[in-house]
Amino acid sequence: MHKRFMLATVALLAFAGAAQAETLQEVQDKIHDIVSKYKSLQFKMKMTSETSMAGFSTKTDSDSQVEAAKKGDTVVSRVDSKMRTSTNMGGQETKMDMKSLMIDDGKDLWNISESPTKQIAKMKRDPNSVTYFNPKAGWKQVAEHFELKLMPDETMDGKACWVMAMEPKDPTMKMVQSKTITYYDKKTGLGHKTVTFGPEGKRSGEIIMSDIKIDADISADRFTYTPPAGAKVEDMTKQDIGAMLGGKGDAKSGDAKDED
């Protein structure tokens, strides 16, 4: 009798635990509720990636300083990056360094790159790609090409995290990337670490956020850009950048327009 009582108790606890398990939608709602309330974000982002196949390999690493802030109903941002790429083709190695600055001033998107010559491009901004404070809009875009899955919670770098995995829907894409796993800090709602895996399940890269500052004051001049006198500017404002990148819908800094 005692043994049957213990088994029944264990079964009841297991059922209760299963009933209390969070769904992907519930976790996304919690993350969005946290992040959408922020007024500004500042963080450093380090990205590394490595790809290899017969007779070819490439390694890339970049360091970026990211700043974003709400300006009324608009989100402005600034991304300063340094990227280093090493490519080996048939035993011949090529290295390239590039510096870039991207500023979204709320009206236009400025892209200034040096690799090694300086190029300045003024583009039409795409509000659909502005997801710093709108995670749901970002997931909606991702869901067009990837299947999102909720994984068991983990502690990563000392932080209690929700864990999400995404796998490509396109079989061709799976030949390059099998899955990506992102760790969302339960305290900040931010995906502070992302790990990518190649087609054979081998780790192929990662993105790490550090020095995170939330709702700190950021000077307005960080989100403005004036080309130097006499500089050549490529005007691309007549081109639909959103369409080129496959963006759809209307993603504002608050809730997503459609929440699937």
Given this model, what pLDDT does residue 240 score? 62
Whether residue 185 lies inside any domain: the answer is yes
Whether residue 88 lies inside any domain: the answer is yes
Domain carrying residue 209: 22-240
Whether residue 170 lies inside any domain: the answer is yes
Question: Cβ(44)–Cβ(63) under 8 Å?
Answer: yes
Whether residue 181 lies inside any domain: the answer is yes
- Residues 244, 100, 76, CA angle at the centre, nearest 5°? 65
Q: Structurally, how many domains does the chain consist of? A: 1
Whether residue 10 lies inside any domain: the answer is no
CATH number (domain holding residue 221)? 2.50.20.10
Whether residue 259 lies inside any domain: the answer is no
Whether residue 5 lies inside any domain: the answer is no
Question: Cβ(130)–Cβ(79) under 8 Å?
Answer: no
- Cβ density class 237-256: b for 16+ within 10 Å, e for less: eeeebbeeeebeeebbbeeb
pTM confidence score: 0.81
* Tokens describing residue 43: 């963080």
Whether residue 2 lies inside any domain: the answer is no
Give every residue of the chain whose pLDDT is below 50, as ranges: 1-20, 242, 244-260
